[in-house]
Structure 1
């Protein structure tokens, strides 16, 4: 898998999460969970794109660790 394929997959992931959150109930439980899930899911793609623009391998690895944290939060 190359970087453009992963960029596409992270975008599709965010869109699928948005659709999922749209199906959550609008109550005191669904709203905060949905908001946090959208923030972390969209952050996966944004941070992956930032990692791809890293100026060094160390910067890439550092930013990629943020991607992993956000993906774990989505789980």
Structure 2
């Protein structure tokens, strides 16, 4: 649990998320941002449900950074086989 909280709340993680969000912000289309984020992190397109959840993040002022941080901390992003 401590490791999860460290990843979520660390300055390093926030800098990575902010940098990723900055790269995604070059397009104004929210759908394109979501697609690019999923392709970059997971090498796949988001499911319809994932797209819906991601879009709800983008309704907030810091939503893109928050979305990047959340996805960087998913099992899919941090688990290596």
Decide: shared fold, TM above 0.5. no
* Structure with higher helix content: 1
Indicate the structure (1 or 2) with the bigger Cα radius of gyration. 1
- TM-score when normalising by structure 1: 0.37
Higher relative contact order (CA 8 A, sep 6+): 2
- TM-score when normalising by structure 2: 0.35
